[in-house]
Amino acid sequence: MSAQKKKLLLIGSNGMLAQQIASIMPAKYTPTAVDLPEFDLTDRAQVLSVVYALQPEIIINCAAYTKVDGCEAEPELAIRVNGAAVGYLAEAAKKVDAVLVHISTDYVFDGEKKTPYVEEDQTNPQSVYGHSKLLGEQAILSSGLRKYFIVRTSWLYGPGGNNFVETVLRLAAERQELRIVDDQVGTPTYTGDLADAIFNLVDADPSHHPSPYGLYHFANAGQCSWYDFAIEIISRYKARGGQVKAARVKPIKTIDYPLPAKRPAYSVFDKEKYLAATGANLPDWQKGLDRYLNLRDVLKL
């Protein structure tokens, strides 16, 4: 007899990461996907009711208010979606004994460090977005839920959403010169690799790591500035036969491109805890970019 499939509730299913999770989900899961307008994560009664009715074994929360500068203009909404609503999910997961997977961000740090951030490093968000995401983490930790994975990631891009790769390719097709910040350093992370990482954690062999639950940092391997990333995007796109108008990419400083929300100057993650828990490989960020550009070709984006 075949093993019974596990029920999985995917929240924020229309988003960039959730679409990738749905596309690579192992066959042993039976997914239910929910998103606005039918499902409102900020409605506690609805969250409890849906989770109780479905009785999922796994809940993956990809829903978030991710417009970093928008959060500065709408702090109450950001805190409701990224903070309080995550607490409702943790409460619901605890009631039905589900594993909760929640995605967080490098923005919980101030970016002042010069070496990769480990999970135990002191948080110090510098923006409403970072503050609201930290509140979400804290809501899980204070809920009493034992079976959870909080996965912090950085510089996420992939199909099905606005992202830096698409912005660079669009501007490179329109302009002679691009001006890109070179004094913010981090790691671009392909949604396909993060989706793999989530299932690597959820499906981790208990004999390999008896209690894998907790907080993890995940991004692709390596690091670069936004300027370096833009150069690589254009170079690899052109190597595939892509046409661009841009003849130059000019490095600029953060101060030359002011935005409402402060960005971390340094947000490289140490991924040793993830590697120890899963025994998985960690693809370089350049390989992640290649995978995305390959997929763009297939999807004709």
Spatial distance between the Cα atoms of 60 and 13, rounded to a whole number of angstroms: 10
Spatial distance between the Cα atoms of 148 and 94, rounded to a whole number of angstroms: 10
Spatial distance between the Cα atoms of 268 and 147, rounded to a whole number of angstroms: 26
- DSSP assignment string, 114-164: SSPBPTTSPP---SHHHHHHHHHHHHHHTTT--SEEEEEE-SEE-TTS--H
Tell me if 103 sits within 8 A of 155, measured CB to CB: no
Spatial distance between the Cα atoms of 180 and 225, rounded to a whole number of angstroms: 9
HSE of 39, CA atoms in CB hemisphere, 13 A: 20
Contacts (Cβ under 8 Å, ≥6 apart) of 208: 277, 278, 279
Spatial distance between the Cα atoms of 243 and 177, rounded to a whole number of angstroms: 14
Among residues 129, 157, 227, 237, the one annotated as catalytic is 129
Task: Classify strands 185-186 and 224-225 as parallel, antiparallel or unpaired.
Answer: antiparallel
Active site residue 129: yes
Spatial distance between the Cα atoms of 11 and 245, rounded to a whole number of angstroms: 39
Question: Using CB atoms within 10 A of its CB, is residue 120 exposed (0-12), middle (13-18) or buried (19+)?
Answer: exposed
Looking at the annotation, which residues are catalytic? 129
